[in-house]
Chains A and B, each alone.
Chain A
């Protein structure tokens, strides 16, 4: 029987040498005249084990990692093609604690299948959600998604079903589904992993959104920094088109839906939905005032659903298993699962999909294993560059939209970036302002100018120039930005700045160097 060896093609695995490993394995197969094939799967999401090589055995898939090209010969010598023991052997993949503790609904196939194999996709429950949706009326689909409690996974947490209903009810000859895959937040990579590891689930989710709202055209707007995701999505769309999943008659239903990939051009602000729409239209990515809502006047002024990748990729399992199944996970008003991305200075970094409700401390200390450097955790930034820095004192905060908001933080796209005690929180606050200055679209004065003034003020504090006065000024500036900006860039930059100042006051009171030498 042909042996199947899995070597991930996910960008994180590639960044750690997966291609070299795959080449070495292919050479070894050739050399030994083995009957074996290599499948380039997505990533299981355990970055510290990448490249994670798996072999299919009668007992299940055996995992080996992290594998370097120089380890390959010894793996073959140890008989790893039959699941043989080796220093890098991790046992059965499904028994690895990091995976075993997860509830993988959206990421059920990611890392398991060949991302571009429709046979694999169907074998692992793919297209079931779409098939069920095709047997329902549009309002029934919208109701199912509403009942599931799914909220926008991009960060705002707006109920997906309500957004869909607005678009479904809006009159218009042409409506659109726009997938926001402009995943620019540092510490997040869930969208990238789906696009590279299970692109068909995103296509399926977009088609279902189209059926629910009457939209027949979809755009996936992603980042130029994600060349691998762009390529995989383009190939998957071609395959889906060839199989009649996309096109004038989705699975022979008579409903039309097609989609294409569009690449951004390195502007962080285009992750904001109205900037994204302007960019998609070919304009400067400047924020639009709301109203009008994109649901009513979105792309080219027509009714448009703008949903995040993870929101759309969660739709197929909701349609397949039912709203109640999904809703039964989670806590409070945060229903279902969330792919938490554990990143930065952390021992066991990666993607951990679980029901809402774990505490921040559990995520960082128990699942993430503390810092990679072995030093104590000083701060954790949750929700990307616009998210608050939480100290250890807030580690009992449950991962839930409302609980984080109550502590002046946000979940955002569920990225968790860990910093050890070497971090200088004044420097991090300054960077938040600097990043806002670099990426501001320029429409709102508080964001455009306030961010630059914020950098200068942080520098004065660092230099010991009238620190108390300048800290008050920085807080005042944050207040103006928070309430005077149209979008989250200017409006949320105060979160990292104010949280750093509030929770880490010692870092804002450095030894006064010079008495403002004038």
Chain B
């Protein structure tokens, strides 16, 4: 793999993100969250920049990025739809909701629709367990997800 520390389209912006947070105790996660917020994913080329600034090896940075479910190695769709697959939602039919959603969107979990509208992801608990099944579209939460609610969500992402 080519190592290109600088010169990429992300590297310069990455550097300023890192330097704004370097003073924190344990700056890595705040930096990665900020990068994902900025770029939509964690580009390969920022890993050596982070490593260099935090005095870590590239392997260590890569290890952290890949440990956490949140951090992506490629951009998501315009929207991210998270459907809860945990027990409380299962008890209220979340598996059927998941199947219906796969059908409506024509994709499986961890996939993005061909038009780039939405990425479907599983999530294990949104803390909405007393109004299950639950979903989150970007930062918008939905409880007691039923057919009408799914139709609303699908219309929203297709807009």
Q: Point out residues on A near B: beta carbons under 8 Å.
A: 11-12, 14-16, 47-48, 50, 183-189, 191-192, 217, 224-228, 262-268, 279-286, 299-300, 341-346, 349-351, 372, 381, 385, 415, 417-420, 423, 428, 431, 435, 438-439, 441
Asked if B91 contacts A282 (CB within 8 A), the reply is no
Q: A47-B131, A186-B88, A349-B130 in contact; A282/B28 too (CB < 8 A)?
A: yes
A417 close to B26 (CB less than 8 A) = no
Q: Which A residue sits closest to B25, measured CB to CB?
A: A300
Residue pair B131, A186 in contact (C-beta under 8 Å): no
Chain B positions within 8 Å of A15 at CB level: 128, 131, 134, 141-144
A196: shortest Cβ distance to chain B, in Å?
9
Q: Is the CB–CB distance between A344 and B129 below 8 Å?
A: yes
Over the window 8-39 of chain B, the binary record of Cβ atoms lying under 8 Å from chain A Cβ atoms (1 yes, 0 no) is 00000000000000000111111011000000
Please tell me the size bucket of the interface on B: 35 or more
Contacting pair A282 B87 (CB below 8 A): no
Specify which chain A residues have a CB less than 8 angstroms from the CB of B27 in the assembled complex: 282
Find out whether the CB atom of B90 lies under 8 angstroms from the CB atom of A431.
Answer: yes
CB of B139 within 8 Å of the partner chain: yes
CA distance A164 to B86 in the complex (A): 34
| Complex Cα–Cα for A342 and B131 (A) | 10
- Does B104 interact with chain A (Cβ within 8 Å)? no
How many angstroms between the C-alpha atoms of A474 and B159 in the bound complex? 48
Between A and B, how many residue pairs show CB distances below 8 Å? 154
With an 8 A cutoff between CB atoms, is B120 at the interface? no
A438 to B69, CA, bound (A): 10
- Which has the most chain A C-beta neighbours within 10 Å: B64, B70, B84, B127? B127
Residues of B within 8 A of A420 (CB): 91
B97 at the interface (CB under 8 A from A): no
Chain A residues with CB under 8 Å of B29's CB are 262-265, 279-280, 282
Whether a CB of chain A sits under 8 angstroms from the CB of B150 is no
A265 touches B141 (CB 8 A): no
A225-B136 contact, Cβ under 8 Å, with A341-B129, A420-B91: yes
- A14 CB contact (under 8 Å) in B25, B68, B141: B141
**Does B98 have its Cβ within 8 Å of any Cβ on chain A?**
no
